């Protein structure tokens, strides 16, 4: 008891802060009825592990900062290699797209054909912290991009935007056209060569004075 009183005397503010946090965390929703008498009096002698919201908030902030730092280190470590492999994949005839999944540290490459020997060798050079997965796609980026251009030219009244899906499975478009949004077969309605996924979306905002006809 003497040590306890001496500690309060030397560090009254610190002790008061910890004591308050402990009592609040342990008596929340109970009114203190299930606590031992000395705990209800606020001596800080609690049998449960103390939890302080302010201290927990600081811990969570530090954890978030640490996670962000780890993510930045990973991005820096793998950036050069990722650029190399994606550039090489884009140059291949069967390339459809790519996707980087940060949560699983995985780079997905989509193509209508398997990787060439040189591409496979490049993939083997990947950093241990990055997993590379080669996936088959039904259509190439070249095919889908050509169809996007045709659709935007021929269906200008219906479509607000269009683009190839990153996994090579088709084309996604945005529109406010009610008929197209409700169409059970948007590919047929647009006379598209490839599967179409439709999403509601307003036309892109264009700066005043810009000629959008080109």
Strands across the sheet containing 196-200: 159-164, 171-175, 196-200
What pLDDT does 53 receive?
58
pLDDT reported for residue 168: 97
Mean pLDDT, rounded, for 197-201: 95
**DSSP H helices in the chain:** 2-10, 12-27, 37-40, 53-90, 117-123, 141-154, 178-182, 186-190
pLDDT at residue 86 greater than cutoff 60: yes
Task: Name 212's Cβ contacts closer than 8 Å, sequence gap at least 6.
Answer: 206
Nearest CA among 4, 42, 45 for reference residue 20: 42
* pLDDT single digits (tens) 116-168: 999 999 888 888 888 899 999 999 999 999 999 999 999 999 999 999 999 99
Mean predicted lDDT score pLDDT of the chain: 76
Higher-scoring residue by pLDDT: 33, 24: 33
14, with CB counted inside 10 A (0-12, 13-18, 19+), is: exposed
What global pTM score does this model have?
0.63
Per-residue pLDDT at 93: 87
pLDDT at 72: 75
Residue 150, classified by CB atoms within 10 Å of its CB into exposed (0-12), middle (13-18) or buried (19+), is middle
Rounded to whole angstroms, the Cα distance separating 106 from 76 reads: 15
Tell me the mean pLDDT in the region 94-99: 96
First to last CA, the chain: 85
pLDDT, residue 198, reads 97
Contact 195, 187 (CB under 8 A): yes
- Whether residue 2 is predicted with pLDDT greater than 50 in this model: the reply is no
Return the CATH architecture of domain 57-136. Answer: 2-Layer Sandwich (3.30)
| pLDDT higher at 25 or 110 | 110
Domain boundaries, the chain: 2-51, 57-136, 141-200
Q: What one-character-per-residue DSSP string does 38-62 give?
A: HHHTT----SSPP--HHHHHHHHHH
Residues 6+ apart with CB under 8 A from 86: 98, 109
| 51-70 residue pLDDT tens | 555 555 666 666 666 666 76
Angle at 52 between CA 46 and CA 68, to 5 degrees: 140
Residues 183/185/189/194 CA torsion (nearest 10 deg): 140
**Three-state secondary-structure class, residue 95:** strand
Token pair listed for 43: 């001596």
What's residue 7's pLDDT?
39
Calculate mean pLDDT across residues 4-33: 41
Please state, in angstroms and rounded to a whole number, the distance separating the CA atoms of residues 53 and 18.
11
């Amino acid at each position: 008891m003497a040590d306890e009183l001496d500690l309060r005397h030397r560090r009254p503010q610190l002790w008061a802060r910890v004591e308050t946090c402990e009592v609040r965390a342990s008596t929340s929703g109970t009114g203190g009825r299930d606590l031992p008498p000395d705990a209800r009096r606020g001596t800080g002698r609690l049998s449960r592990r103390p939890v302080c919201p302010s201290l927990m908030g600081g811990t969570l902030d530090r954890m978030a900062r640490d996670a962000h730092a780890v993510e930045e280190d990973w991005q820096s470590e793998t950036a050069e290699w990722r650029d190399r492999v994606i550039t090489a994949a884009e140059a291949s005839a069967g390339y459809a797209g790519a996707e980087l999944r940060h949560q699983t540290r995985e780079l997905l490459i989509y193509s209508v054909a398997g990787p060439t020997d040189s591409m496979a060798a490049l993939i083997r050079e990947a950093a241990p912290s990055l997993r590379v997965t080669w996936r088959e796609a039904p259509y190439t980026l070249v095919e889908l991009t050509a169809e996007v251009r045709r659709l935007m030219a021929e269906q200008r009244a219906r479509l607000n935007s269009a683009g190839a899906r990153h996994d090579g499975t088709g084309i996604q478009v945005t529109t406010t056209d009610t008929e197209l949004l409700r169409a059970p077969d948007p590919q047929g309605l647009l006379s598209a060569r490839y599967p179409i996924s439709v999403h509601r979306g307003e036309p892109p905002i264009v700066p005043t004075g810009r000629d959008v006809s080109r």
